[in-house]
């Protein structure tokens, strides 16, 4: 099984520890992982801003980097959702279509493909899970509060395997944090207010860490936490699942 690691551009540049943890975790689970070094970005920042027509070249680049792997795994629900929904090719749509089927968000890959039942990791903290919308409602990583159906959460199931970790229940378990790509600057007032409210839900439940499947949401929440001089930290779910201290 050849697994290619897809690292979102902003994780590459600002949160390398998340990619390192993802790589380490997959390697610890015995997966043969490669990192195609010519990868850049899935094109989502442009597409969500209305510029999908400018992403033809990033799409072709993505395809040339990832076409020959069995699975593509990424520590981001949002970027994976974008690839699943919007990756197309003018020269080889069959390959693009194949890639759309084999790209997985990390917790989805661990749950559905590797079918991980135990994880050796330790993270002795009180943790709140921020359900990022694209992973949750787009990739259906967990039951959504709007939908009448049986409860499940791929991310929570994995976090519950971690030694010492205490997961809290939030008042609003899947409310958006307000990051939203360029929304975070074009609609600054609402974006920040949404972020304040998410942070308050976590802090009022006594969390020490906010975790999630998307570093973009956590970057937004971390920006608010640090401005508020809060003691609460953020950690990507890969960092927690790979924590062995």
Closest contact distance (angstroms) between CB of 105 and other proteins is 15
CA proximity to 42, closest of 59, 57, 56: 59
Minimum CB distance to other proteins, residue 115 (Å)? 25
DSSP tag of 163: B
Q: With respect to other proteins, which residue has the nearer C-beta, 120 or 172? A: 172
CB of 89 to other proteins, least distance (A): 13
Considering the complex, state which of residue 40 and residue 98 has its C-beta at the smaller distance from other proteins: 40
Closest approach of other proteins to the CB of residue 94, in Å: 21
Nearest CB to other proteins, comparing residues 29 and 46: 46
| Smallest separation, CB 5 to other proteins (Å) | 9
Nearer to other proteins, 43 or 128 (CB): 43
Q: Nearest 5 degrees, angle CA 20-CA 132-CA 110?
A: 50
Question: Contact at 8 Å (CB) between 210 and 218?
Answer: yes
> CB of 164: closest distance to other proteins in angstroms?
27
Q: Which of 191, 241, 236 is nearest to 11 (CA)?
A: 236
Locate all alpha helices (DSSP H) within the chain, ordered by sequence: 9-14, 16-28, 44-46, 56-66, 77-86, 93-102, 106-108, 133, 154-159, 183-186, 188-203, 215-227, 237-241
Token pair for 27? 């390697």
Neighbours of 51 (CB within 10 A): 11
Q: Rank residues 76 and 165 by Cβ distance to other proteins and give the closer one.
A: 76
Q: Is 244 exposed, middle or buried (0-12, 13-18, 19+ CB in 10 A)?
A: exposed
Task: Give the nearest distance from C-beta 65 to other proteins in angstroms.
Answer: 8
70 CB-contact burial (10 Å; exposed 0-12 / middle 13-18 / buried 19+)? exposed
Q: In the complex with other proteins, which residue's Cβ is closer, 165 or 195?
A: 195
Question: Of 14, 74, 17, whose CA–CA distance to 223 is shortest?
Answer: 14
CB closer to other proteins out of 67 and 166:
67
């Amino acid at each position: 099984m050849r697994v290619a690691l897809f690292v979102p551009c902003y994780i590459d540049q600002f949160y390398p520890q998340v990619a390192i943890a993802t790589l380490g975790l997959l390697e610890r689970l015995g997966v043969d992982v490669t990192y195609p070094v010519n990868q850049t970005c899935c094109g989502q920042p442009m597409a969500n801003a209305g510029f999908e027509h400018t992403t033809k070249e990033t799409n072709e680049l993505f395809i040339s980097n990832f076409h020959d792997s069995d699975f593509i795994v990424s520590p981001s629900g949002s970027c994976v959702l974008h690839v699943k929904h919007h990756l197309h090719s003018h020269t080889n749509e069959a390959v693009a279509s194949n890639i759309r089927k084999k790209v997985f968000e990390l917790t989805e890959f661990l749950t559905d493909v590797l079918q991980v039942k135990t994880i050796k990791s330790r993270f002795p903290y009180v943790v709140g899970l921020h359900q990022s919308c694209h992973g949750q409602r787009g990739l259906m990583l967990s039951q959504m509060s709007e939908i009448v159906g049986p409860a499940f959460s791929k991310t929570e199931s994995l976090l519950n395997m971690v030694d010492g970790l205490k997961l809290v229940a939030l008042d609003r378990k899947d409310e958006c944090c307000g990051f939203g790509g360029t929304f975070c600057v074009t609609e600054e007032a609402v974006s920040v207010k949404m972020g304040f409210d998410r942070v308050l839900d976590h802090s009022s439940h006594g969390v020490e860490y906010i975790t999630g499947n998307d570093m973009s949401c956590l970057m937004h929440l971390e920006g608010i936490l640090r401005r508020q001089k809060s003691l609460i930290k953020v950690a990507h779910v890969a960092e927690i699942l790979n924590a062995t201290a």
